[in-house]
Amino acid sequence: AQSVSQHNHHVILSEAASLELGCNYSYGGTVNLFWYVQYPGQHLQLLLKYFSGDPLVKGIKGFEAEFIKSKFSFNLRKPSVQWSDTAEYFCAVDRSGGYQKVTFGTGTKLQVIP
């Protein structure tokens, strides 16, 4: 079965620190990859996505993610976090070529301390 693993469940950082959240998936075929974010009291929303082309994708608010096919990974990065980045982050995988069926990781809660 397709699975998505997020290694960090809770991350606490000071403002201006660099962020990297890990995401690995188990499916061996072609995939579409997403990072969603849920800010406190808000809907889940798309942060960035990869479906083809440049494996380094840039999203909103200075976030980026790198797809490394050989490692089945899609880690999320930001060089310098802000207090407003405090949220829960979900990695998600969709197997390309068929009907859309997205599998989510367990989520990582990021707390940024001013």
Instruction: Indicate which single residue of 29, 54, 70, 101 sits in contact with another protein (rule: CB under 8 A).
Output: 101
Closest to another protein by CB, 51 or 83 = 51
Q: How many residues touch another protein (CB under 8 A)?
A: 28
- 14 token code pair: 């000071």
Return the exposure string of 52-69: e unless at least 16 CB atoms fall within 10 Å of the residue's CB, then b: eeeeebebeeebbbbbee
Q: Is 104 in the site for another protein (CB under 8 A)?
A: yes
- Measured CA to CA, the distance from residue 76 to residue 4 in angstroms comes to 14
Q: Using CB under 8 A, which residues numbered 27 to 56 contact another protein?
A: 32, 34, 36, 43-46, 49, 51
CB atoms within 10 A of CB 5: 14
Specify the stretch interacting with another protein by CB under 8 A; choose among 14-22, 68-76, 78-86, 97-105.
Answer: 97-105
